[in-house]
Chain A
């Protein structure tokens, strides 16, 4: 039986903005709403099985990451060649940043987003993306390198 899990509403209020930021970086503002709803529905379904001592934010960001990857796979099948996360809705000053982020391969994009939005450690990033710690370090490094070159 679950013990001492906080009310789900507490997680929802505390972490919804970071989940939204993560999805905004991964799939863009347009698709973020659907992914956000899917993320929290999946989280609510699995919540009673979450261990009370695990970190809920990293857990939610992992689910958000998975939903974003599902979405990217789907849209690549449906609209091949299109950019995932065009930056039109963002402030003009940041448009270049968003375009550069959207052009990163998904794994690098996820590593960069988790680092900057989630403040996650390399190990947590690796667990979230589902790869080795070495691979996640490399993704983060390569992603930041590309961004540095473009911006």
Chain B
């Protein structure tokens, strides 16, 4: 008797995966979750995007496995995070267009709240650098209202949670040297070249 019972009750439930995906999409669309995430392929490798009710919270290069990255986000931001490609569609589409050379500005909303006031000022100044142009660490520090804080500005850029979209790759060292890039210099080079501005 226990065999058919166990077999029936434990039988695979293939509907569960689709139901879970529907749940996650709906939780994101109805803002029942704090965060939604998706990954997307790009010429620079896999990208991880995370959004909240007010806009994009994180966009970074996913060079390692996904799970530890999500655990860090759960720890630092909120454990209420689900996967929803649909929720991240606006930014994924803009990134696709950017990499195809068909987009020069990102328009979908960004959430700046997790940043310190100084980092926000630096990154907003960075976001104002037009496509195909560059600035310097001194330049963005100046634009952020702290002309002598180049080093702090460099740190703020290094901790940019919205890579590519807030174009910290457009910030170079004075005199044209490349400076650093959290995702790796080859990526900075690629992005500047994409924007037809690569300098040796």
Q: Which A residues lie at the B interface, using CB under 8 A?
A: 2-10, 12-13, 16-17, 19-21, 24-25, 29, 32-33, 36-37, 40-41, 44-45, 47-48, 90, 93-94, 96-98, 101, 112-113, 116-117, 144, 147-148, 151
Contact = CB atoms under 8 A, between A and B. Distances in A.
B79 interface: yes
A116 B6 contact: yes
B13 A24 contact: yes
Contact of A8 (B8, B19, B80): B80
A33 B13 CA distance: 12
Chain B interface residue bracket vs A: 35 or more
B4 A151 contact: yes
**Dominant secondary structure of chain B at its interface with chain A:** helix
A47 B74 CA distance: 12
Nearest to B67: A10
A44 to B, nearest CB: 6
Contacts of B15: 20, 29, 32-33
Interface string B28-60: 000011000100000000000000000000000
Nearest to B9: A116
B24 interface: yes
A12 B28 CA distance: 14
Contact of B73 (A7, A21, A101): A7
A136 B22 CA distance: 34
Nearest to A40: B23
